[in-house]
Structure 1
Amino acid sequence: MIVGLPGELLGFPWARELERRLEAAFPGARIRRAPARAPAAPPLSEGDACYPYKRMIRSALGLLAESDALVLPRLLRLDGHLMCPNFRALPDIVALNWRRLHGEEPPMAAPAVEVADGRDAEAAFEAVIRELRRLPGGRRAEAARAQPPRPAPGTAPPRAEDGRRRAIALVGHPYILSTPALHKGVPDLVRRAGFRVVTPEGLPFRTLDRLARDRDYYAKVLYWRGARECLGAFRHFTEVRPAAGLIYLIAFNCGVDALLRLELAALHKDLARRVPFMVLVVDEHTQHEHVATRVEAFLDIVDGTAHA
């Protein structure tokens, strides 16, 4: 059995653990994270949604065409905080497009997921596996001895970085930082310039959440998980373990990013030691050279700051 699981979701630790659980529950299955062929634009989409969301719709439709079943959890809450509302509608948009294109219901496991603690996480894993087993492909899966799970993309040990080199911190939603088509190769551009790359991937969310809680800028607490993660990461890389520079990768038309970029700019002005800071709207650039030019100019500023 081939099970589709959109790779964009694997930026979230819960989704990476879900992949390992699927490999253990269906030992004969192959997990496919991206379609072999780039799918065409879907007939129904969210016109005002951000590019990463539209890409997830395309990825899911492509995986449905190439897999026996698709796992697309309806993410409502992770780590006790609300997810972007688009994640609630993602399975519905994919199903509507599949029905329009093929005239049938998609073979898809899409239970609602609300995770605040370990017990919730276990219940959510079981719900996904239970729904998958009800699908024809899941019922055909052989009951074999579970094999040791292999690491998911993005969870392999990070490449060795020379600790003596200056670090550039990349902050953004996990699906942007972990997907090359979304981060536009920024990590490699930074490395090729002689810097090492640090991201919040290895930091526990509870640590980032605590940092965010200490400095919520607005009167109303930021309740989106993605906003709290990015705010906490900004504080970590500017105050706790300051990097030589910080790049905030965002998507055009993302409401959370539109709000948070203002908050981070305000916090940056109040820093006792101002780390060079740049906001890069990755999908505003259609050519790789455009991204490279922005990153190179920023790194020149970082170099100038170091020698000032």
Structure 2
Amino acid sequence: MKIFVYIALLSFLVGCQLTPSDSGNEQGSREQGQQGRTGGEGQAQRRADLAIVEPALPSQSQQAEIAQINELMESDEVNDEQRATLYYRRGVLYDALGLNTLALLEMNKALALEPAMADAWHYVGIYYMQNGNYSNAYEAFDSVIELSPEHDFVYLNRGLTSYYDGQFDMAFTDFADFYFQDPSDAYRIAWQYFAAFELDSGRASEQLRQQMQAVPARTWGGGILRFLAGDISENQLISAAFQGIETHQELVERLCEAYFYLGKKAAMQGDTEQALNYFKLVLMTNVYSFVEHRVARAELYRLREADQKSVP
């Protein structure tokens, strides 16, 4: 009975989870929650280059759950559908711990038993994207869209694949679809801006200013957009990251995002050295399930490749 109760709980979690998560919170909830926190500038300004905190620690509860799943997988009472759910859940946990190769293996095992599991295809696409295997990533995300056309984050991640593949028109289209699902989401506005900037930087800036009106300026997401638009400085963004924080984990997550957007703006302004440093700081946070952490290494590769091409 214990086995079936646990698997029923996992099935509920899988049904609720639409995108890679950390500590049991799905990405959409994480983004909405952070946008709702205030990001005032009343405290003393912090220098962006000195705002370094200890990285996030591996979750003991997630490791314990992996051990529980390992025990359940040895039971003869688990049928194929339940086993696919367990593979998927174990893959999600591996993902949150930064063990991408193990996570990919688990997702493939789940799909071997349940080929119509859209969320597993979504993770597979993300891993292919992170590894630069863009053709397979496109196929995986297309499978997600075929199986679950309303999937919350597939257009973001297919857009990221196109963006880092240099297909900026395609990226802009997917980011636009992602944006129109929730025009008040600062992160959706930011990614559409990044793709638009590659196509027409002037028009992208105008669009950013128009769209950011839907996001309250004094929220964390609003602060990111104001920084990208040039309304606040690097130090003001970092200072805002420390506002309304209750735990060390929340601070590390905020700084993961702050470092990333600092790096993006530095790269867009041609300051390659500064951008490289910020993207390295993103990776040092160990917030593996945040999209900013997932693509920080791709940003490093992109900058280094551009730097090599510029050498005579």
Query: Shorter-chain TM-score category?
Result: under 0.3
Q: Answer 1 or 2: higher relative contact order, Cα 8 Å, separation at least 6.
A: 2
TM-score, normalization: structure 1?
0.25
| Higher share in helix | 2
| Higher share in strand | 1
